[in-house]
Amino acid sequence: MDLPLTQGVHHIGLAVSHLEESARFFTSLLGWKEIKRRDDYPAIFVSDGAIMLTLWATQTDNPTSFDRKTNVGLHHLAIRVDSKASLFEVYDRLASNGIEIEFDPELIREGPAMHMMCYDPSGLRIEFHWTGV
């Protein structure tokens, strides 16, 4: 077989405990667009034009938080930014809006690539990554 049978990511579905707050994280803080909603299984679809996320509301009052060291599942979602300045703009915007920052923008190994890590309002671990070029 010479060619892969797949063609990239269509969307990523994420279970969130705070649907509206998680959607606002992407739309209000990062400038993504809300694509649609589903009220029958509460979900909000958001996109930055390159990737679409489906944010699905958990169906319990006491959702179990993901532990990346002990659970199989999404360790983190890495989102690309186009420049070092954009990485710091994301950091400033998130930090000034009370988003939990795991670590500030820093070099990856010797650089010049950089990244930062935060948690959305539902506790999803999200990395912002600049390739350094």
Contact of 121 with 18, CB cutoff 8 Å: yes
pLDDT value at 24 more than 80: yes
The stretch 17-43 carries a mean pLDDT of: 97
Residues in the chain: 133
Contact of 126 with 118, CB cutoff 8 Å: yes
| The pLDDT value given to residue 67 | 86
Confidence of residue 61 (pLDDT cuts 50, 70, 90): confident
Token pair for 127 = 């990395």
**Largest separation between any pair of C-alpha atoms in the chain:** 50
Domains defined along the chain, listed by start: 11-59+67-130 (3.10.180.10)
What is the CB-side half-sphere exposure of residue 107 using CA atoms within 13 A? 4
Contact of 7 with 49, CB cutoff 8 Å: no
pLDDT value at 16 more than 80: yes
Q: Do β-strands 43-47 and 11-16 pair in parallel, antiparallel, or remain unpaired?
A: unpaired
pTM of the model: 0.92
pLDDT in tens, 92-126: 999 999 999 999 999 999 999 999 999 999 999 99
